[in-house]
A and B are shown apart, each in its own frame.
Chain A
Amino acid sequence: MKKLVVLLALLAFSFASFAQELYVSTEPASNMPKDGIGLRMTQEGAFENNYQSRLIPEVMLGLHKNLMVHATAYLSDFFQSRYKAEGWSAYAKYRFLSIDSTNRHFRGAFYAKYASSNNPVLFQEINLEGNNTGWQAGVVFTQLLHKLALSGSVNYNRALDNRGGNLFPSNFAKESIGYSFSGGLLTYPKVYRDYKQTNINVYLELLGRSNIGTNQHLMEVVPAVQFIINSKMRIDIAQRLQLWSNMSRNGRNMYLVRLEYNLFNVL
């Protein structure tokens, strides 16, 4: 089963007509342009026992050609019946490798994230998108090869006690390894003439996580579609599908809707 999914994902993208690397669920090794600002509003939701959702406003800054940062806030009703502000995170990505030629590029980047949450710690999955306080460090490589854009990343996650006296349970794994494999393809337009042409991109991403020392693993596949409007605005629609998991978690099979707006040369 596991092998089949990986094989299918590889196959799907070997037929790609043009590559795209503005992944929805992960970050590519490429950075934002220097002096650019990106504003994002993401909503994620899941229908488990009842409908629950999370709102994620985010600001992204291109500080240097090799360095970008994100500042993110998390609001949700995942842990109580009403919406509340539950936490924030800060993320930085440094591109250390860039090999460009006409139809291909290979890039590598290190990234790190610190997340803070005031939720009770109820689930074994370490989730730095609102659920847990903790930090993450990882590396990502992105390869654009003529018609194929592939990205792979691995990260280490360390959970800490949540704010508000919500301690991290001693019987939960404090550490996890996350990994991802992403591919993207531009389906429209076939020929570029104008910045006003809407781009339509489709993505398929595999997101995995393993808790260290407890033999707990999870794997999700995330198909997504993306519209880029006027070369400035981006709309992402994605659906997470859990392939397997033996760790307790919330927000299983979440959908995602995101609006992003980019401003250039403003810093």
Chain B
Amino acid sequence: MKTLKFVVTAVTLILFAQVSSAQFIKAEVQVSGLTCSMCQLATEKAMKTIDFVATVEPDLNKNVYEISFKKGKNVNLDQIKKKVKDAGFSVSKLVVVFNFDQLKVSDNFHYTYGNSQYHFMNVGDKTLNGPVRLTVLDKDFIPAGDFKKWSAETKFDCYRTGVMGTTRTYHVTL
């Protein structure tokens, strides 16, 4: 029964999933655990080693890094998270900015971009146009306590696993 439910959900979601000509503009990463400028510089330099990252602009006072991406490269948000963790810290918030062209979204709407899917949570029915800030809600992209809260609220297994089938699925909200 559980499997059937999963298959039905998956099929429904795939049907609703939509591919469009949106563009990934940039990401803003807030890093927690940082206590000194040496740690901040180490984190920035680690992120700059990622092949799809063009520039990293830090706000040292807020521990927020604005990351712009190279054109034509596949963006992998997990890589950003990994670099932050390797530097010894954690991502406490990651906002991705997409440029949308009249994209209709609703709760649990799935959007495919690059090699990944973006699962909209708690957004209601809206049409997204122009640059839109989406906050990633997945594990290790928000504080552990917040992840637990979201896990308790959602029925979707892909929230806990981060994958649907074999596709990396990020969960985002407005």
Contacts and interface: CB of A to CB of B under 8 A. Distances in A.
B30 interface: yes
Nearest to B89: A100
B155 to A, nearest CB: 26
A33 interface: yes
B45 interface: yes
B37 A197 contact: yes
Contacts of B33: 30, 98, 100, 105, 144
A205 interface: no
Nearest to B144: A99
B88 A31 contact: yes
A77 interface: no
Nearest to A105: B33
A102 B92 contact: yes
Interface string A101-122: 1110100000000000000000
Query: Chain A's interface: helix, strand, loop or mixed, by majority?
Result: loop
Nearest to B58: A195
Most buried by B among A36, A191, A193: A36
A265 B49 contact: yes
Most buried by A among B32, B36, B39, B43: B36
Contact of B42 (A191, A197, A228, A264): A264
B133 interface: no
B46 A264 contact: yes
Interface in B1-57: 30, 32-33, 35-43, 45-46, 49
B41 A192 contact: no
Given A33-B87, A65-B85, A101-B92, A264 B41 contact: yes
A62 B43 CA distance: 13
A34 B32 contact: no
B88 A102 contact: no
B38 A35 contact: no
Given A100-B143, A102-B32, A264-B46, A30 B88 contact: yes
A17 interface: no
Contacts of B40: 195, 231
Contacts of A265: 45-46, 49
B61 interface: yes
Interface string A41-84: 00000000000000000000010010000000000000000000
Contacts of B45: 264-265
Query: Which range contains the number of A residues in contact with the other chain?
Result: 35 or more
Contact of A102 (B46, B58, B143): B143
B61 A192 contact: yes
Contacts of B143: 100-102
Given A102-B30, A194-B60, A186 B90 contact: no
A200 B110 CA distance: 49
Given A105-B33, A264-B46, A22 B88 contact: no
Contact of A65 (B30, B36, B87): B87
A232 B61 contact: no
A36 B50 CA distance: 16
B53 to A, nearest CB: 13
A21 interface: yes
A22 B90 contact: no
A189 to B, nearest CB: 9
A204 interface: no
B78 interface: no
B86 interface: yes
A30 B89 CA distance: 9
B88 A33 contact: yes
Interface of B: 30, 32-33, 35-43, 45-46, 49, 58, 60-61, 85-90, 92, 143-145
- 7 smallest CB-CB distances across A and B, nearest first, come from A192-B60, A100-B90, A100-B33, A34-B86, A33-B42, A231-B41, A231-B37
Given A62-B88, A195-B37, 5 more contacts: A19-B35, A33-B39, A33-B88, A65-B88, A101-B144
